[in-house]
C-alpha cells in the first residue's frame, strides 16, 4: 500500500508537467500552480532531502550534519540547531535518524533546504516564549547527555548552559566561573532544571535567595561562594 500512495503524487506531477507544456493557454495560471505545488510539502522530497545528508545510512551523522548546517547557513553550535533538534525530537546530539527527520520536518512542513532556511526565524522565535523555552531547556539535558549516563558531564553542561542562558542571564559568567572551580564533575537533571528556575526567579544581588528553601545544594554552594567572593 505505501508504495502506491507515494507513486500517486509523483504521477500527478508528471501529468501536471505535461499539461503545462502542451497547454499554453493556462501557462500563467499554471506557473502559479506549479509554484504552489513546489511550496506544498512532499514526503518524497523530504525523504530525498534526508538522503542527501544521510548517504546510504538511515541516519544523518557528523559529516552529513556539518554539510547540512553549512547548507542552511547555521553554525552547528548555534542555538537554533538545538531548537531544530527539539522539534525533531532528536535523541542524540549530532545525529538525526530517518524517523526523527520525517516526523519533525513534516511538522515543520519543510522538505527543502530553502524552506528550512525560511523557517529558522520561526524556530528562533520559539526561544522567546517562556513555556517553550523551558521545554527546550529541559530537552537539552537529555539531548546532550551520553545515553549510558544519568548525568551530564560538566564540560558539555557548561557549553549547553552558555548556549541557552549565556545571553539572557547576567549572572551566567559568574556561575560558569563557579562551575569551573567546583569539584562537581557532572550535573544531574534536577540541578540542571533548577539552574533555569534560579536564573528566572533570583535577583541579581541574590537578595531573595532562601538558603533553607528547596534549592539543590549545588545552588546553595554557588550562592555562598558568590557572596564570599563579593565580600573579598
Partner 1 sequence: MEPETQRKANFSALAHTNGLTKSSALASKPTASKKLIIKNFKEKPKLPDNYTQDTWQKLHEAVKAIESSTSIKYNLEELYQAVENLCSYKVSHTLYKQLRQVCEEHMKAQINQFREESLDSCLFLKKVNLCWKDHCRQMIMIRSIFLFLDRTYVLQNSLLPSIWDMGLELFRCHVISDKLVQTKTIDGILLLIEKERSGEAVDRSLLRSLLGMLSDLQMYKDSFEARFLEDTNSLYASEGQRLMQEREVPEYLHHVNRRLEEESDRVITYLDHGTHKPLIACVEKQLLGEHLAAILQKGLKNMLDENRISDMTLMYQLYSRVRGGQLILLQHWGEYIKNFGSSIVVNPEKDKEMVQELLDFKDKVDHIIDVCFQKNEKFVNVMKESFETFINRRANKPAELIGIWECLYLQKYKLSIVFNAYCLHIQSHSDPGSIELTVNILTMGYWPTYTPVDVHLPAEMVKLQEIFKTFYLGKHSGRRLQWQSTLGHAVLKAEFKDEKKELQVSLFQTLVLLMFNEGNEFSFEDIKMATGIEDSELRRTLQSLACGKARVLNKLPKSKDVEDGDKFSFNTDFKHKLYRIKINQIQMKETVEEQVNTTERVFQDRQYQIDAAIVRIMKMRKTLTHNLLVSELYNQLKFPVKPGDLKKRIESLIDRDYMERDKEDSKQYHYLA
Contacts of 169 (CB under 8 A, 6+ apart): 175, 199
- Residue 224 beta carbon to partner 1: minimum distance, rounded to whole angstroms: 10
C-alpha to C-alpha distance for 72 and 60, rounded to whole angstroms: 15
Tell the smallest beta-carbon distance from residue 190 to partner 1 (Å).
5
Nearer to partner 1, 97 or 191 (CB): 191
Q: Residue 14: exposed, middle, or buried by beta-carbon count in 10 A (0-12, 13-18, 19+)?
A: exposed
Query: Does an H or E element contain 59, and which?
Result: strand 59-60
Q: Are 100 and 84 in contact (CB under 8 A)?
A: no
State how far the Cα of 19 lies from the Cα of 196, in Å rounded to an integer: 57
> In terms of CB distance, is 33 or 134 closer to partner 1?
134
Binding residues for partner 1, per CB under 8 A?
150-151, 188-191, 193-194, 197, 212-217, 220
User: What minimum distance in Å lies between the beta carbon of 188 and partner 1?
Assistant: 5
- Which position has the grid cell 537578595? 207
Of 117 and 134, nearer to partner 1 (C-beta) is 134
- In the complex with partner 1, the residue whose CB is nearer, 81 or 161, is 161
CB of 193 to partner 1, least distance (A): 7
Amino acid at each position: 500500500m505505501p508504495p502506491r500512495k507515494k507513486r500517486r503524487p509523483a504521477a500527478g506531477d508528471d501529468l501536471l508537467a505535461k499539461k503545462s507544456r502542451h497547454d499554453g493557454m493556462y501557462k500563467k495560471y499554471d506557473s502559479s500552480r506549479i509554484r504552489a505545488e513546489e511550496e506544498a510539502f512532499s514526503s518524497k522530497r523530504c525523504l530525498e532531502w534526508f538522503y542527501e545528508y544521510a548517504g546510504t545510512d538511515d541516519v544523518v551523522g557528523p559529516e552529513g550534519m556539518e554539510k547540512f548546517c553549512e547548507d542552511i547557513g547555521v553554525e552547528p553550535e548555534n542555538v537554533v540547531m538545538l531548537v531544530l533538534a527539539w522539534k525533531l525530537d532528536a535523541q542524540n546530539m549530532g545525529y538525526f535518524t530517518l524517523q526523527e527527520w520525517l516526523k519533525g520536518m513534516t511538522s515543520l512542513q519543510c522538505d527543502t533546504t530553502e524552506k528550512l532556511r525560511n523557517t529558522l526565524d520561526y524556530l528562533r522565535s520559539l526561544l522567546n516564549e517562556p513555556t517553550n523555552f523551558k521545554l527546550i531547556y529541559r530537552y537539552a539535558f537529555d539531548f546532550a547527555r551520553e545515553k549510558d549516563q544519568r548525568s551530564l558531564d560538566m564540560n558539555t553542561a557548561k557549553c549547553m548552559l552558555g548556549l541557552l542562558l549565556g545571553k539572557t542571564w547576567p549572572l551566567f559568567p559568574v556561575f560558569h566561573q563557579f562551575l569551573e572551580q567546583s569539584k562537581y564533575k557532572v550535573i544531574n537533571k534536577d540541578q540542571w532544571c533548577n539552574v533555569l528556575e534560579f536564573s528566572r526567579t533570583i535577583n541579581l544581588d541574590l537578595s531573595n535567595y532562601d538558603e533553607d528553601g528547596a534549592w539543590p545544594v549545588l545552588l546553595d554552594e554557588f550562592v555562598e561562594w558568590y557572596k564570599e567572593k563579593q565580600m573579598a
